[in-house]
C-alpha cells in the first residue's frame, strides 16, 4: 500500500522538471503585481456595490455623481474579465511549486501551503462564478451575491497573507534584471548563473541563463498583456460605447431590448404581466398624511420632469436613456412627508430578492430621482417597468425597482 | 513569525508580519461573513465549487497545457517561433474559454 503510493509519487513531476523560463521568479513577480492590482480594484469596487445594496450609516452614498456606479461596476466586471488571463498566467508560472518535495516540511510550511491552497481556490472560484454570473448562467446551487461577497474577503485576506510571506521573492523578482535579462531565480529557488540545467523537463525549452530564456520571459509576459488587453477590448463595449462595435465577447449589448435598452428581468420572468397591464392599476402612496391611490393618468397629470440617466447593471453593462416622470420628492410631499424623507419602494413582484428597494433621503431629494412613466419620449415598455418604475442617479440597476405598486414615505406604515 | 527572523530581499520583518496579521484578520472576517451572511444550505455547493475549481485547473487544464508545450514546443527549434506559438495558445485559449461561456449562455 505504502510502496504503491510511493511509486505513484515517484512518477509525479518535481519542480526541477519544469525547466521553462516561464516559471522564473521574475515572471511570477510581474504577473503577480498585475494580478494583485486587479484584485485590489475588484475588492474596492465590489465593496462599493455591496454598500449600495447594504447601506451602512457611517459610509452613505449620495446620488452624485450620477455616473459613479456605472464606472465602478463597469470597472469591476472589466477587471474580473482581465483576471481570466492574469489568473491562468499566474497559476501556470507557479505550477511547478505544486510539486515541491517534501510535500510538507513542518507546521509553518503546512500552514503556508494551506493558505496558498485557499488563495487559489478562492480566486479561481471568484473568477469562474463571476464570469458565469455576468453571462446569467446561474448554475451554482447557491445565491451568487452573498457567496461572492463572503469569498471576496477570503481572497483579500489570503492575498495579504501571501504577499506577506512572499514579499522577499517579489522584491527579488522585480529587482533582478529590470529588463528581464540575464540569468536568475525561479519559483523561489536561486539558479546559479550558468548553472546546470536539468534535462528533459516537461516543458523544457532549453538553457535558462541564455538569450533564449530572456526571449521566453518577455514573450510570455507580452502574451499575457496581449490576452488581457484583447479580452478587455472585446468585452468593455457593454458599458463603454466606443468599443461597442467590437464587443464580440461581451455578455450583453446594452442597446438590445425594447426601446433600445437592455432588460435583465422581463415582466414575464418577474410574473407581473397581468398585474402590470391591469387598467385598474394605481400607485399606492403612503405617508405621514395618509394613503392615496394614483392612477397612471393621475401621475401623468402631476408635474413631469425629464432626466438623462444611466441604467447600470450589477452585471457590468450600462446605457444612458432619457427618462420622464414625476419627481419622487414631489410624491413624498404629496403624501405629507418632507422632500428628503427616505422612501421605501415595493414592486408588483410577489417574489424575488429585488422586489423592494429603499431610496435614502439624499436620493429622494435629488431632482433627477423619478418615478418614471416614460422612456425616450414614449410610454415605458412593459419590460422596462410599465406602468411606473424608479430611476435615480448613481444606483445599481437592481435597485431601480420596476413595476412599482407602492411607495412608503418616511417610514410610515 | 518573529519580526527579526523573517528577513529577506531587504524587506523589513515588520512589514511582512503586518501583512500576514492583517490577512489573518481579514480571513477571520471572511469566515464570520460565511457563517452569518451565507445561508447554511449554500455551504456545501460553495465548498464543492471551491474545491472543483482547483481540481479542474490543477488536474486537467494545467497538465493539458504542460503536455501541449512538451509535445509541440519541444520540437520547435526557433526560440522566437516558440514564443509566438506560446503566445497564440495563451491569447486564443483565454478568448476561447470566455467564448465557450458565451456560447453556453446563448444556448440557454
CB distance A121–B82 less than 8 Å?
no
Contact, A191 vs A176, CB < 8 A?
Answer: no
Question: In A, residues 54-73, which contact B (CB 8 Å cutoff)?
Answer: none
Locate A273 and state its grid cell.
404581466
Would an 8 Å CB–CB cutoff place B83 in contact with chain A?
A: yes
**What is the Cα–Cα distance from A245 to A267, expressed in whole angstroms?**
29
Task: Read off the DSSP letter of residue A313.
Answer: -
Q: CA A391 → CA A147, A300, A385, A396, distances in Å?
A: 28, 16, 10, 10
What is residue A312's three-state secondary structure?
A: strand
Contact, A360 vs A300, CB < 8 A?
Answer: no
pTM: 0.91
Q: pLDDT of chain A along its 413 residues, tens only?
A: 678 888 887 888 999 989 889 999 999 999 999 999 999 999 999 999 999 999 999 998 999 999 999 999 999 999 999 999 999 999 999 999 999 989 999 999 999 999 999 999 999 999 999 999 999 999 999 999 999 999 999 999 999 999 999 999 999 999 876 556 554 444 444 443 333 333 333 344 444 457 888 889 999 999 999 999 999 999 999 999 999 999 999 999 999 999 999 999 999 999 999 999 999 999 999 999 999 999 999 999 999 999 999 999 999 999 999 999 999 999 999 999 999 999 999 999 998 888 999 999 999 999 999 999 999 999 999 999 999 999 999 999 999 999 999 999 987 65
Residues of B with CB below 8 A from A85's CB? 90-91, 94
Of A84, A140, A157, the CB nearest to B98: A84
How many Å is the Cα radius of gyration of chain B? 22
Identify the residue whose cell numbers are 485547473. Answer: B57
Contact, A155 vs A39, CB < 8 A?
Answer: yes
Count of helices and strands (H, E) across chain A: 11, 12
**What is the Cα–Cα distance from B106 to A124, expressed in whole angstroms?**
23
What is residue A375's three-state secondary structure?
A: strand
What is the DSSP secondary-structure string of A10-67?
HHS--GGG---GGGBHHHHHHHHHHHHHHHHHHHHHHHHHHHHHS--TTS---S-STT
Residue B108 CB neighbour total at 10 angstroms = 9
Would an 8 Å CB–CB cutoff place A346 in contact with chain B?
A: no
**ipTM of this complex prediction, to 2 decimal places:** 0.93
Pick from A343, A373, A336, A376: nearest CA to A361: A343
Correct CATH for A263-409 of 3.90.420.10, 3.30.70.260, 3.40.50.360, 3.40.50.1000: 3.90.420.10
Question: In B, residues 15-74, which contact A (CB 8 Å cutoff)?
Answer: 15-20, 22-31, 33-34, 37-39, 42, 45-46, 48-51, 53-54, 57-58, 61-62, 65-67, 69-70, 73-74
Residue A164 CB neighbour total at 10 angstroms = 22
The full set of domain ranges for chain A reads 2-191+208-246, 263-409
Amino acid at each position: 500500500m505504502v510502496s504503491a503510493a510511493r511509486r505513484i509519487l515517484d512518477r509525479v513531476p518535481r519542480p526541477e522538471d519544469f525547466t521553462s523560463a516561464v516559471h522564473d521568479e521574475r515572471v511570477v513577480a510581474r504577473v503577480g503585481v498585475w494580478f494583485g492590482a486587479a484584485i485590489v480594484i475588484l475588492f474596492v469596487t465590489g465593496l462599493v456595490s455591496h454598500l449600495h445594496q447594504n447601506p451602512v450609516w457611517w459610509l452613505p452614498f449620495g446620488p452624485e455623481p450620477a455616473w459613479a456606479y456605472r464606472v465602478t461596476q463597469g470597472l469591476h466586471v472589466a477587471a474580473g474579465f482581465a483576471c481570466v488571463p492574469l489568473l491562468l498566467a499566474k497559476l501556470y508560472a507557479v505550477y511547478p511549486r505544486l510539486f515541491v518535495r517534501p510535500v510538507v516540511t513542518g507546521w509553518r510550511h503546512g500552514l503556508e501551503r494551506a493558505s496558498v491552497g485557499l488563495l487559489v481556490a478562492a480566486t479561481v472560484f471568484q473568477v469562474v462564478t463571476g464570469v458565469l454570473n455576468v453571462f446569467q448562467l446561474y448554475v451554482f446551487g447557491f445565491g451568487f451575491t452573498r457567496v461572492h461577497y463572503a469569498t471576496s474577503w477570503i481572497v483579500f485576506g489570503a492575498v495579504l497573507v501571501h504577499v506577506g510571506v512572499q514579499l522577499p521573492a517579489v522584491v527579488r523578482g522585480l529587482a533582478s534584471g529590470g529588463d528581464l535579462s540575464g540569468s536568475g531565480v525561479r519559483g523561489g529557488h536561486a539558479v546559479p548563473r550558468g548553472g546546470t540545467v536539468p534535462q528533459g523537463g516537461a516543458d523544457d525549452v532549453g538553457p535558462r541563463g541564455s538569450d533564449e530564456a530572456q526571449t521566453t520571459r518577455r514573450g510570455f509576459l507580452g502574451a499575457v498583456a496581449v490576452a488581457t488587453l484583447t479580452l478587455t477590448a472585446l468585452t468593455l463595449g457593454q458599458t463603454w460605447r466606443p468599443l461597442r462595435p467590437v464587443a464580440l465577447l461581451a455578455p450583453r449589448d446594452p442597446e438590445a431590448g425594447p426601446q433600445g435598452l437592455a432588460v435583465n428581468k422581463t415582466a414575464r420572468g418577474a410574473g407581473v404581466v397581468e398585474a402590470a397591464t391591469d387598467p385598474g392599476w394605481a400607485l399606492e402612496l403612503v405617508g405621514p398624511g395618509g394613503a392615496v391611490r394614483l392612477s397612471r393618468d393621475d401621475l401623468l397629470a402631476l408635474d413631469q420632469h425629464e432626466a438623462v440617466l444611466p441604467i447600470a447593471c450589477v452585471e457590468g453593462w450600462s446605457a444612458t436613456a432619457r427618462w420622464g416622470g414625476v419627481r419622487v420628492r414631489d410624491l413624498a410631499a404629496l403624501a405629507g412627508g418632507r422632500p428628503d424623507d427616505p422612501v421605501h419602494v415595493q414592486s408588483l413582484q410577489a417574489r424575488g430578492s429585488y422586489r423592494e428597494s429603499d431610496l435614502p433621503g439624499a436620493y429622494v431629494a435629488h431632482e433627477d430621482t423619478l418615478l418614471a412613466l416614460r422612456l425616450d419620449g414614449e410610454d415605458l415598455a412593459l419590460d422596462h417597468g410599465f406602468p411606473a418604475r424608479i430611476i435615480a442617479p448613481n444606483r445599481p440597476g437592481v435597485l431601480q425597482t420596476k413595476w412599482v405598486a407602492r411607495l412608503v414615505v418616511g417610514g410610515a406604515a | 513569525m518573529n519580526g527579526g527572523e523573517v528577513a529577506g530581499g531587504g524587506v523589513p520583518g515588520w512589514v511582512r508580519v503586518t501583512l500576514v496579521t492583517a490577512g489573518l484578520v481579514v480571513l477571520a472576517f471572511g469566515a464570520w461573513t460565511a457563517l452569518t451572511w451565507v445561508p447554511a444550505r449554500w455551504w456545501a455547493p460553495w465548498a464543492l465549487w471551491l474545491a472543483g475549481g482547483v481540481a479542474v485547473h490543477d488536474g486537467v487544464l494545467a497538465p493539458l497545457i504542460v503536455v501541449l508545450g512538451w509535445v509541440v514546443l519541444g520540437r520547435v527549434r526557433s526560440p522566437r517561433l516558440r514564443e509566438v506559438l506560446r503566445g497564440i495558445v495563451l491569447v486564443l485559449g483565454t478568448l476561447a474559454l470566455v467564448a465557450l461561456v458565451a456560447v453556453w449562455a446563448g444556448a440557454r
